[in-house]
Structure 1
Amino acid sequence: MGRLSSVLLKGLGALVLVIVVLSVVGTIVGIALSVIAAVLSLVLTLAVLSVLALAAVGLLSLFGSDSSAGNSSDTPTENRPDPEERVRSRYVDGNLDDEAFERELERVLDTEDRSTRPDVDGSRTRGPASERDRLRDR
């Protein structure tokens, strides 16, 4: 029986050793997973806070630009492009074909000539063709 008991004791000792090693490995894995979870939680919290901060800044700038836009309405001609520029940019963008560009340009130039003309007799220093050529050359 001496030989059987020594085999049983060695087997029991090996079993205890395996249990101890597995518990140590389990503890180390648990600690590593908790550290990873803490880091991921921190990253997620910072991401949510940064999105909220960006949303707050965006809302403030949105509402701030509305109030400043109301202040700039006192000088509307500074921010708006002149009608010639609008027609030219529409032509360059391809929104107007040649005929529509000509019609719009003549309409804009006629309106401009009437509003800025110092004389009443209708004489012009430049003809519509020269104005058209000037705008196309830009």
Structure 2
Amino acid sequence: MALQGAGMVIGIGIDLVQIDRFERAVARYGARLLDRLFTPSERAHIRRYRSPGRHLAVRFAAKEAAFKALRTGWGQGVVWQDVEVVGGGNEPSGLALSGRAKDVADGLGIMQMLVTLTHEGDYAMACVVATDGR
């Protein structure tokens, strides 16, 4: 079954992150962790928020969900910064792929990756649907 106007589904990924656990990791490892997980533009976007923890956690969940939709997990040479969460706030969120993540997506025939993000209470969640874009 295809999503209306989105094409055939090639992969689906979902991830749930406990926000306070993610915030503890950031408190422990600081900039070193943020530099490893997020692109410069993602880090700049997050600086706009008074309480960035939940926004970082939901972006982390989106990256995890994207890895699942790409069928790579953390493997096949895909690194965190190969998946960038774009938009957010007042504009729709999206994903931009580069490096090995883009190579894997191209190899699978993925032309579009739809993402939805949410955070409520203690949790952040992301779902990614990869399609052929037809």
**TM-score above 0.5, yes or no:** no
Which structure is higher in helix share? Answer: 1
Q: TM-score range by the shorter chain?
A: under 0.3
| TM norm structure 1 | 0.23
Which structure is higher in strand share? Answer: 2
| TM norm structure 2 | 0.24
Larger Rg: 1
